[in-house]
Structure 1
């Protein structure tokens, strides 16, 4: 896999993300797709494994970042995940020239990456372990390096995480994960990982089967 300016960092804790959030302009939408179904009513409160996820004020999120099924022509097989970084979209390819499209937050300047990977494994309500490099820059997270931040509503990985490995079977340290920071969707705010609204990562998580057949293609 080829990475561009890849760093071994993932999302920051919620308060730290807001402090470093970048709202880089979104590239013009070049795609011509037809929306078949939009799920703007799917962002209400959820009781999930003992956690009460709050409703998202989805009217404050641009409608094009709401989960929807769209026409999507691609040579990639169903089950492939395609990340369109400039437009802040993640596509899960369906049969019949369709895809589920989700709005995402992407890596800020200097942290973006591109290439191919696969979903090696996935986890519900994951524990977050910030890299030591992050703890040097952000001493407030140093306490979580060894033991991690346990699952919860403030955990930067949100309700679900999917772990991306390269073709040699090595962890890239990049993730597709939920986030409590719904307002960062549509921006370049993360330290390289792909972040999603928690209600969306729960939906995507249920569709994905880990293994080398579940390809992830990240486009810049």
Structure 2
């Protein structure tokens, strides 16, 4: 098996995965950070010429009003510009469409072919919850139900109120879209999910899952069919 103890130890994500939007119903950050002390200070860099400008970012990461649950605009001032979506040179022998997660650099790449890739800024697993290897998208969902695993409920009893599932919506930890990662026909408990918390991008704060800003996740989701290959690089 390519998975390490982070999967077996479902501090991971159960039927759901890790948080996304800010919750009014529960302390969503408690689920997101678990036992972690919190986010490291986020040093925001100026807009370099090879990054999307803040004006461009405000358009790309603007509100998405036509969703089932309208998505608010991202406060792009809280995101380091190097994590804005970008087409980059990325040499790979993988087929177009393949997703490559680089947790060490906080990026997710979608291979486009001819040496190019779409690069998205991401949050990734914190220490003790990382894994690497190959998987594939076994299932995908829009505005999914989130069900915390029993191991999470044992650590964080307040999650028990959602033992039967939390309906989709802006307060749901999985957000607007989720790709469920499988190996050998089995769900790994890991996902690529959407978040509306810009402060998390560029940080290791999850129980092994990978989060993209909602607008980026909608873009990736729309171009990712079932069975898409996913490679998680070592951190």
Q: Secondary structure at the match of 1:53?
A: coil
- Asked if 1:200 is matched to 2:233, the reply is no
Q: How many residues align?
A: 209
Instruction: Indicate the residue corresponding to 2:24 in structure 1.
Output: none
Instruction: Indicate the residue corresponding to 1:217 in structure 2.
Output: 231
Taking a change above 3 Å as real, the CA distance of residues 165 and 121 of structure 1, as seen in their structure-2 partners, is same
Alignment RMSD: 2.3
Instruction: Indicate the residue corresponding to 2:91 in structure 1.
Output: 73
- Asked if 1:156 is matched to 2:173, the reply is yes
Q: C-alpha distance in 1, partners of 2:76/2:37?
A: 20
Give the C-alpha shift of residue 95 in structure 1. Answer: 1.8
Consecutive unaligned residues in structure 2, runs of 5 or more? 20-26, 43-49
Taking a change above 3 Å as real, the CA distance of residues 36 and 97 of structure 1, as seen in their structure-2 partners, is farther
Deviation digits for residues 150-207 of structure 1 (CA, Å, limit 9, x no counterpart): 11111110100001110x2111010000023221110000011111111110010011
Q: C-alpha distance in 2, partners of 1:108/1:18?
A: 9
TM-score, with length taken from structure 1: 0.87
More strand by share: 1
TM-score, with length taken from structure 2: 0.82
- Asked if 1:172 is matched to 2:188, the reply is yes
- Asked if 1:52 is matched to 2:74, the reply is no
Q: C-alpha distance in 1, partners of 2:187/2:168?
A: 21
